[in-house]
Chain A
Amino acid sequence: MAVNADFVGRTYPPSGPYAVTAEGLAAFASAVGSTDPVHTSSEAARAAGYADVIAPPTFAVTIAQQCDAVFVQDPEAGIDYSRVVHGEQRFVHHRPITAGDEVLGTLTVDSVRAAGGHSMVTTRTELTTTDGAALCTSTSTIVIRGGE
């Protein structure tokens, strides 16, 4: 089954808001082995100049993947999720995601291409606060393995 190239260039309405909690950031930091207190201690985060505890560099993916669902689970998109592997991931942070943020994600399908019997789909999620402040641009390429 081929991925539907008609989706290229499509931008979805913002999804969310996704609430960022101190507990969620601490659990994520622990899971990736971070010991930086800016993720777990409000005092340490404020001393470093932040409003509250901040997210580790890859935390944004947890929100971006929720935003992706509207596309990757759309039967019209033609993505067999059982054959998906993560190919590439990139984050550009505009300001740290912070506990208390209410985050909106706007998903755009940047490209769909075929390579060696596989399909590669690149999506971009622009994360902002509900007030419109830019947080992070998360770009993800998934590979849908060919086969049969």
Chain B
Amino acid sequence: MGVRTLADTSVGDTIEARTIPVGRDSLVAYANASGDQNPIHQDEEFATSVGLPDVIAHGMWTMGAAGSVVEEWAGDGGRVVEFGTRFTKPVVVPQGGGAVEVAGVVKSVDEATRRATVELTVTSGGDKVLGRCLAVVLLD
């Protein structure tokens, strides 16, 4: 698949919802790749001792997973030129694993700068976990 073009992009275009599983092993891999070794993302006893319901995913794992969905839509990861979010709720990752669901919609297209703004909806267990999650993609 090539890089997404301005001609092929319109306001209201959607990124089909997909479910991304997240296991404890995913969080260990993210911790090692990112350097964020906070035990709330790996150690159930520690997490519950500080008042969390269970191990929770790194917020940046969740944002990163959403970023992977946008870059696939863009056709080239280097085309995601802006990306921002609020972290509204934690993604709980029980022993048997959890999941996030990611979907998106094109909110605006700037023809002069060839930029599309995509809003992502990211939920886990029915709860919105990212708020105002917006990516700007540079179109071909």
Contact = CB atoms under 8 A, between A and B. Distances in A.
A2 interface: no
Interface of B: prevailing SS = helix
Contacts of B60: 58, 61, 86, 89
Given A30-B33, A31-B33, A89-B84, A58 B50 contact: no
A27 B34 CA distance: 9
A38 B77 contact: yes
Given A30-B33, A33-B64, 11 more contacts: A33-B65, A48-B78, A56-B71, A57-B70, A58-B64, A62-B33, A62-B35, A85-B87, A91-B83, A96-B77, A96-B78
A36 B84 contact: no
A27 B84 CA distance: 22
Nearest to B64: A32
Tell me the dominant secondary structure on chain A's binding face.
Answer: mixed
Contacts of A61: 34, 60
Given A50-B78, A56-B67, A66-B35, A30 B59 contact: no
Contact of A56 (B3, B77, B84, B87): B77
B80 A57 contact: yes
Contact of B77 (A34, A66, A85, A91): A34
A131 to B, nearest CB: 19
Contacts of A82: 50
A29 B3 CA distance: 19
B34 A90 contact: no
Interface of A: 24, 27-36, 38-39, 48, 50, 54-58, 61-62, 65-66, 82, 85-93, 96, 139
B82 interface: yes
Size category of the binding interface on chain B: 20 to 34
Contact of A91 (B29, B72, B82): B82
A55 B68 CA distance: 11
Nearest to B132: A88
B135 A57 contact: yes
A35 B81 CA distance: 18
